[in-house]
Homo-oligomer: A and B are copies of this chain.
Amino acid sequence: MYPKKFENLIECLRKLPGVGLKSAERYAFDMLEYSEEDINDFIQSLEDLKTSIHHCERCGNLSEDNLCEICKDNRRNKNIICVVQHPKDVIAMEKTNEYHGVYHVLNGVISTSKGIMPDDINLMTLLDRINDETQEIIIATNPTVEGETTALYISKLLENREVAVTRLAHGLPMGGHLDYADELTIIKAMEGRIKIK
């Protein structure tokens, strides 16, 4: 067998999603050739992961501070809130350069099959963010069964609030994921968004 400490490294790498024994071994052997600087960078990143990377306390996006860069940016229109499942989706939206509102990142999606309930995702804090000045909630969850369920749940939740609720529309292929869509597709989906409440 490999030395115990090398086995430990392989075990750590196997915990990564979709990584089996052969891949983990391949990664570990590759890392044997790393310079000390490369390893130190990696260790520093992991230290930062523990201490410096949080969720924005307002919108749930990734952030090094209490508020993320977008929530801190005064040029963004705080009265339009785009609800996405994942921080990756914020990146995908931002690449279009067409959206100037703010975000609300659910960090998950309602899934009856996986037992993920509305309280398990960052959803209820959205209600606290909506005030008299809020004009529109754009629901940009993925066009999957779970994303649609979540969109429907949010629209029901906001039924009695004085705010427009829209849903990203055509352009996004069904069954796909927002962060894999190209910019034009996302722009089309933004333009074609329809009022669902």
Binding site for B on A (CB under 8 A): 1-6, 8-9, 11-12, 15-19, 23, 25-27, 29-32, 34, 36, 38-39, 41-50, 52-53, 62-64, 68-69, 86-88, 91, 94
Residues of B within 8 A of A44 (CB): 8
Partner of A30, one of B17, B29, B38, B39: B17
Q: A15-B38, A17-B26 are in contact. Are A48 and B5 (CB under 8 A)?
A: yes
Q: Would B32 and A39 count as touching, CB distance under 8 A?
A: no
Binding site of A, secondary structure by majority: helix, strand, loop or mixed?
A: helix
26 A-B Cβ contacts within 8 A? A2-B62, A3-B53, A3-B63, A4-B64, A5-B45, A5-B52, A8-B41, A9-B46, A9-B49, A11-B41, A11-B45, A12-B41, A12-B42, A12-B45, A15-B38, A16-B30, A17-B27, A17-B30, A29-B88, A31-B49, A32-B49, A39-B50, A42-B46, A43-B43, A43-B46, A43-B47
Question: Besides A16-B27, A34-B49, 4 other CB < 8 A contacts?
Answer: A2-B91, A15-B34, A17-B26, A43-B47
| Nearest CB of chain B from residue A94's CB, rounded to whole Å | 8
Partner of A87, one of B2, B17, B39: B2
| Nearest CB of chain B from residue A63's CB, rounded to whole Å | 6
Residues of B within 8 A of A30 (CB): 16-17
Please, how many angstroms separate the alpha-carbon atoms of A176 and B48 in the complex?
A: 41
